[in-house]
Structure 1
Amino acid sequence: MDMEKVELVEGKVDWKGRRAVKHKHGGMRTAFLVLATFGFENMATLALAVNLVTYFNGVMHFNLADAANQLTNYAGTGYILSILVAILADTFFGRFKTLLVSACFEFVGLALLTVQAHYPSLKPPVCNVFKPTSPCEKVGGGNAALLFIALYILAAGAAGVKATLPSHGADQFDEKDPKETREMSSFFNLLLLAVCLGGVISLTLIVWIQDNRGWDWGFGISTIAMFLGIVVFFSGLPMYRIQAVRGTSALLEIIQVYVAAIRNRNLTLPEDPSDLYEINADKEASIEEEFLPHRPIFGFLDKAAIQRTTPGQTTQPESLNPWKLCRVTQVENAKILLGMVPIFLCTIIMTLCLAQLQTFSIQQGLTMDTSITKNFKIPPASLPIIPVAFLAVIIPIYDRIFVPLASKFTGIPSGITHLQRIGVGLVLSCVSMAVAGIMEVKRKGVARDHNMLDALPVQQPLPISTFWLSFQYFIFGIADMFTYVGLLEFFYSEAPKELKSISTCFLWSSMALGYFFSTVLIKIVNAATRGITSSGGWLAGNNINRNHLNLFYWLLAGMSFLNFFLYLFVSRRYTYRPGSPMLVSKDDQEEDEL
Structure 2
Amino acid sequence: MAEAGDPTLEQGLLANPENQLTYTGDGSVDFSGNPVVKEKTGRWKACPFILGNECCERLAYYGISTNLVTYLTKKLHDGNSSAARNVTTWQGTCYLTPLIGAILADAYWGRYWTIATFSTIYFIGMSVLTLSASVPMLMPPSCEGAICPEASPLQYTVFFLGLYLIALGTGGIKPCVSSFGADQFDDTDPAERIQKGSFFNWFYFSINIGALISSSFLVWVQDNLGWGLGFGIPTVFMGLAIISFFAGTSLYRFQKPGGSPITRVCQVVAATLRKWNAPVPEDSSLLYELADGVSAIEGSRQLEHTDELRCLDKAATITDLDVKEDSFNNPWRVCTVTQVEELKILHPGPNSQEVHRQGEGLFRAPADG
Paired residue for 1:107? 123
What amino acid does structure 2 have at the position aligned with 1:91? A
State whether structure 2 residue 290 is matched by structure 1 residue 279.
yes
Paired residue for 2:5? none
State whether structure 2 residue 365 is matched by structure 1 residue 504.
yes
Residues 492, 504 of structure 1: 8 Å contact kept: no
Could you give the per-residue CA deviations for residues 321-356 of structure 1, whole angstroms, max 9, x where no partner exists? 32122112211111112x15x9xxxxxxxxxxxxxx
1:38-187 paired onto structure 2 within 5 Å: 38-127=54-143, 134=146, 136-187=148-199
Whole-Å separation in 2 of the counterparts to 1:284 and 1:37: 32
Whole-Å separation in 2 of the counterparts to 1:278 and 1:152: 44
Paired residue for 2:209? 197
**Using a 3 Å threshold, how does the CA distance of structure 1 residues 492 and 189 change in structure 2: closer, same or farther?**
farther
Could you tell me how far 1:495 is from its partner in structure 2? 4.1
Paired residue for 1:323? 332
Could you tell me how far 1:165 is from its partner in structure 2? 0.9
Residues 295, 302 of structure 2: 8 Å contact kept: no
**Using a 3 Å threshold, how does the CA distance of structure 1 residues 200 and 272 change in structure 2: closer, same or farther?**
closer
Could you tell me how far 1:192 is from its partner in structure 2? 1.6
1:514-525 paired onto structure 2 within 5 Å: none
**Using a 3 Å threshold, how does the CA distance of structure 1 residues 150 and 193 change in structure 2: closer, same or farther?**
same
CA root-mean-square deviation: 3.1
Whole-Å separation in 2 of the counterparts to 1:492 and 1:278: 19
Paired residue for 1:307? 318
Residues 77, 151 of structure 2: 8 Å contact kept: yes
SS at match of 1:267: coil
Q: Which has the larger radius of gyration?
A: 1
Residues 59, 237 of structure 2: 8 Å contact kept: yes
**Using a 3 Å threshold, how does the CA distance of structure 1 residues 491 and 168 change in structure 2: closer, same or farther?**
farther
| TM-score in terms of structure 1 length | 0.54
What amino acid does structure 1 have at the position aligned with 2:166? L
Could you tell me how far 1:144 is from its partner in structure 2? 1.5
Whole-Å separation in 2 of the counterparts to 1:68 and 1:30: 40
SS at match of 1:94: helix
Residues 104, 230 of structure 1: 8 Å contact kept: yes
State whether structure 2 residue 238 is matched by structure 1 residue 231.
no
Could you tell me how far 1:54 is from its partner in structure 2? 0.9
1:365-380 paired onto structure 2 within 5 Å: none
Residues 166, 504 of structure 1: 8 Å contact kept: no
**Residue in structure 1 matching 2:263, options 248, 252, 256:** 252
Paired residue for 1:586? none
Whole-Å separation in 2 of the counterparts to 1:317 and 1:287: 22
Could you tell me how far 1:316 is from its partner in structure 2? 9.1
1:185-584 paired onto structure 2 within 5 Å: 185-246=197-258, 248-281=259-292, 290-309=301-320, 319-337=328-346, 339=347, 493=357, 495-497=359-361, 499-500=362-363, 503-505=364-366
What amino acid does structure 1 have at the position aligned with 2:197? S
State whether structure 2 residue 22 is matched by structure 1 residue 7.
yes
Whole-Å separation in 2 of the counterparts to 1:172 and 1:269: 38
Whole-Å separation in 2 of the counterparts to 1:148 and 1:286: 39
SS at match of 1:37: helix
| TM-score in terms of structure 2 length | 0.85
SS at match of 1:242: coil
Residues 280, 286 of structure 1: 8 Å contact kept: no
SS at match of 1:252: helix
**Using a 3 Å threshold, how does the CA distance of structure 1 residues 50 and 494 change in structure 2: closer, same or farther?**
farther
What amino acid does structure 1 have at the position aligned with 2:292? A
Could you give the per-residue CA deviations for residues 41-69 of structure 1, whole angstroms, max 9, x where no partner exists? 12222122211111112112222233222
**Using a 3 Å threshold, how does the CA distance of structure 1 residues 56 and 284 change in structure 2: closer, same or farther?**
closer
**Using a 3 Å threshold, how does the CA distance of structure 1 residues 237 and 103 change in structure 2: closer, same or farther?**
same
What amino acid does structure 2 have at the position aligned with 1:333? E
SS at match of 2:27: strand
Residues 77, 149 of structure 2: 8 Å contact kept: yes
Whole-Å separation in 2 of the counterparts to 1:287 and 1:197: 35
**Using a 3 Å threshold, how does the CA distance of structure 1 residues 231 and 265 change in structure 2: closer, same or farther?**
same
Unpaired stretches in structure 1, ≥5 consecutive residues: 343-417, 420-489, 512-594
Whole-Å separation in 2 of the counterparts to 1:255 and 1:284: 18
Residues 278, 329 of structure 1: 8 Å contact kept: yes
SS at match of 2:291: coil
Whole-Å separation in 1 of the counterparts to 2:304 and 2:229: 57
What amino acid does structure 2 have at the position aligned with 1:50? T
Whole-Å separation in 2 of the counterparts to 1:185 and 1:282: 26
Could you tell me how far 1:282 is from its partner in structure 2? 6.6
**Using a 3 Å threshold, how does the CA distance of structure 1 residues 188 and 124 change in structure 2: closer, same or farther?**
same
Whole-Å separation in 2 of the counterparts to 1:283 and 1:80: 34
Could you give the per-residue CA deviations for residues 217-247 of structure 1, whole angstroms, max 9, x where no partner exists? 111111111111111111101111111224x
Whole-Å separation in 2 of the counterparts to 1:217 and 1:209: 7
Could you tell me how far 1:11 is from its partner in structure 2? 1.4
Task: Give the number of equivalent residue pairs.
Answer: 349
Q: Which has the higher contact order (CA 8 A, sep 6+)?
A: 2
Could you tell me how far 1:125 is from its partner in structure 2? 2.9
Could you give the per-residue CA deviations for residues 116-135 of structure 1, whole angstroms, max 9, x where no partner exists? 1112322233228xx8xx46
Percent identity between the two aligned chains: 35
Residues 105, 114 of structure 2: 8 Å contact kept: yes
Paired residue for 2:8? none
Whole-Å separation in 1 of the counterparts to 2:184 and 2:121: 24
Residues 107, 223 of structure 1: 8 Å contact kept: yes
SS at match of 1:11: coil
Whole-Å separation in 2 of the counterparts to 1:268 and 1:318: 18
